[in-house]
């Protein structure tokens, strides 16, 4: 469907171009969408590595999780899409594996990643809300950048509009320009704003899970509105699946945040502080051991000095007797 579009225009910037969807290296075809997803993932991981100690997460534990949770998220994103587009795969179910032909759903990836985080935390003895607080910030980075893959693919745009933000697409089949809401751009900017907001709020967290709830509420609100403008939504009967899921999750997150806002929160309950306490105890024990060793050494030195004095006194007495 989207291959019928070639040139792209941004009227309010007076720009017009025809970016490539992919390029070739030998016999290998590299898609721009894939590159952008990889870049988004890389930046998300680098960000998480940079800030993991602020959430009480060890770098090694984070790396171990990335290595298997990311593939799980991709699989779930694919299954989510195929489940609601089953008619396209019913005749040839093996085509579900042809992921290079496109067909991933962000919400499926988020759900898969969340499941992976829960399992990883149980194995590594990490507090689930604490790791989720860190992971969702990475989600926003990846989603912000990854959405631009839709731009290069000429997809995930919205309904026709004459808004000043409209995006023009030249339809090679009809020979006419079409103008649509650039919904991928709306969502990318919404995710960027959400990342900046939650990044600064994360420095003043009152309880583990606060940033994760903020992500669910923020992304859910934006997605619920933007999804209503799209022309390629996944449907379940008359309902847009992602729009319903976004609205319900946003409402649930807001309710939980309101309840938590009226509760008292002890900073010592944060996972990062709970991790710090045993380390401080170990340091104190090591300091006590070192102090004890020094005391013992000092006592032995004092005893040795007393023995030397006793020997000197004995020698002086012997000389006097002579």
pLDDT at 102 (0 to 100): 76
Hey, which of 10-24, 186-200, 281-295, 305-319 has the most confident mean pLDDT?
186-200
Each residue's pLDDT tens digit, 93-137: 998 988 877 788 888 999 999 999 999 999 999 999 999 999 999
8 A C-beta contact, residue 107 and residue 100: no
Pick the residue with more confidence: 4 or 224?
A: 224
- In DSSP terms, 179 is beta-bridged to 168
Q: What residue ranges do the domains of the chain occupy?
A: 2-265, 269-322
Lookup: tokens for 150: 């839709």
Average pLDDT, stretch 145-152? 94
End-to-end CA distance of the chain: give it in Å, rounded: 120
Give the model's pLDDT for residue 26.
87
Per-residue pLDDT tens for 46-98?
999 999 999 999 999 999 999 999 999 999 999 999 998 888 898 889 989 88
Helices (H), 147-240: 148-153, 183-201, 210-227
């Amino acid at each position: 469907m989207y291959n019928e579009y070639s040139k792209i225009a941004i009227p309010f910037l007076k720009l017009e171009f025809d970016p490539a969807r992919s390029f070739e290296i030998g016999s290998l075809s590299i898609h721009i969408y894939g590159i952008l997803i990889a870049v988004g993932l890389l930046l998300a991981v680098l960000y998480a590595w940079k800030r993991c100690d602020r959430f009480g997460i060890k770098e090694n534990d984070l790396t171990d999780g990335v290595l298997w949770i990311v593939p799980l998220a991709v699989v779930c994103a694919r299954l989510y899409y195929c489940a609601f587009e089953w008619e396209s795969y019913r005749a040839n179910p093996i085509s579900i594996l042809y992921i290079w032909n496109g067909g991933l759903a962000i919400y499926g990836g988020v759900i898969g990643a969340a499941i992976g985080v829960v399992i990883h935390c149980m194995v590594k003895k990490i507090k689930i809300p604490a790791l989720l607080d860190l992971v969702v910030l990475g989600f926003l980075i990846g989603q912000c950048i990854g959405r631009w893959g839709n731009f290069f693919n000429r997809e995930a745009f919205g309904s026709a509009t004459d808004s000043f933000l409209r995006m023009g697409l030249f339809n090679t089949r009809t020979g006419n320009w079409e103008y649509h809401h650039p919904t991928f751009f709306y969502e990318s900017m919404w995710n960027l704003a959400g990342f900046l907001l939650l990044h600064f709020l994360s420095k003043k967290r009152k309880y583990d899970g606060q940033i994760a709830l903020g992500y669910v509420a923020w992304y859910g609100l934006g997605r619920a509105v933007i999804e209503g403008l799209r022309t390629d939504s996944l449907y379940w009967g008359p309902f847009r699946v992602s729009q319903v899921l976004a609205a319900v999750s946003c409402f649930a997150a807001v309710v939980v945040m309101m309840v938590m806002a009226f509760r008292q929160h002890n900073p010592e309950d944060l996972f990062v502080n709970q991790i710090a306490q045993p380390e401080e105890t170990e340091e104190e024990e090591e300091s006590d051991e070192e102090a004890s060793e020094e005391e013992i050494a000092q006592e032995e030195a004092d005893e040795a000095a007393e023995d030397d004095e006793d020997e000197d006194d004995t020698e002086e007495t012997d000389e006097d007797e002579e």
